[in-house]
Amino acid sequence: MRSIFPSLLAIIVCGGVGATLAWFAIDALGWSGVAGAIATAMLAMVIAVAVFAAGIALAKALRPRH
């Protein structure tokens, strides 16, 4: 049985990347307060999913074929 720790680590890393990039983007737009926080959270989720999906695609592409 495969360990779930690599997947958990990937989720945490992708969430951190998404949150950081979303924070920079919303801050660059000058949004703040509750609206800025909601926009940051929503954008962070979209970015995190995209980064996670890209990582899965890359891992599958680099996996040796049998």
* pTM for this model (two decimals): 0.86
Per-residue model confidence (pLDDT) at position 32 = 94
pLDDT of the chain along its 66 residues, tens only? 578 998 899 999 999 999 999 999 999 999 999 999 999 999 999 999 999 999 999 989 998 887
Per-residue model confidence (pLDDT) at position 1 = 58
SS3 (DSSP) at 11:
helix
Q: What are 15's two structure tokens?
A: 């969430």
Per-residue model confidence (pLDDT) at position 2 = 72
Map tokens 């990347």 to a residue: 17
